[in-house]
Amino acid sequence: MIVLRAALIALAAIIPVAAAGAADCPRGDVLGTARVMTVDPATYPRVGLKSFPQTLPLADKEVVLTFDDGPYPPTTTKVLAALADECVRATFFLIGRNAEANPALVRRIAAAGHTVGHHTWSHRLLDRIGQPSANEEIDRGIAADERALHGAATSTPSTPFFRFPGFASTPALLASLQSRGIAVFGADLWASDWNPMTPEQQLALLTSRLEQAGKGIILLHDTKAQTAKMLPALLRYLHRNGYRVVHLVPGRAIKSS
């Protein structure tokens, strides 16, 4: 019975359902958000095959869009506009000092229905600075994000999703985050948008990797002008080629809503 129940929960997690709020979409012929997946950090403490043995239970041609390093007004606003045009929801891993500098934009991200995760205070590589300093980077970043979102600083995140800058974790830091009930996100593929290239080159690189992987958590950066310019074409590509976007929210169990 326990095995059967676990199997049914896993099956429910990969069955696409209509996106919440689809009726609010201003256009009918859009990519949209295919389903919402509730991620339990106790079940999935670490995800993303570029860093860890497991990832989220996505079906073929399902993708999760994630953006790091914001908010940065000149480009984050363009990313938000592109996502809104296609009624797509994503996860933004924010740098605390950027959130502190742009609290209205943080609230705008959340108000648009996107998920706000955490990416340290200043983007230092945490495997190089010792655990006390690394913990301070993590907690200060979370506190700044929470202050921007809710008006009060706390090191207990309302959304317990975290991504290490440069994926530079340590076993001790991973264990600490797991003990706090915070899920650590790697990625399954990325656009390498930290390298200079044209939007067209970036689109070609990312779509070729996606065709090979078939699905996955995609890492992008909303601070990059080339990514902001490329994003509308990426969303059109996903729509044209039958990909489905999964939106992540925190919760006690992996399930669809």
The domain covering 2-18+29-256 belongs, at the CATH homologous superfamily level, to Glycoside hydrolase/deacetylase (3.20.20.370)
Per the annotation, the verdict on 24 as an active-site residue is no
Whole-number pLDDT of residue 28: 80
Is residue 213 over pLDDT 60? Answer: yes
φ, ψ at 114 (rounded to 5°):
-80, 160
The catalytically annotated residue of 68, 139, 188, 193 is 68
Where along the chain do its domains lie? 2-18+29-256
pLDDT in tens, 105-119: 999 999 999 999 999
pLDDT in tens, 166-210: 999 999 999 999 999 999 999 999 999 999 999 999 999 999 999
Whole-number pLDDT of residue 252: 67
The catalytically annotated residue of 114, 221, 222, 247 is 221
Per the annotation, the verdict on 68 as an active-site residue is yes
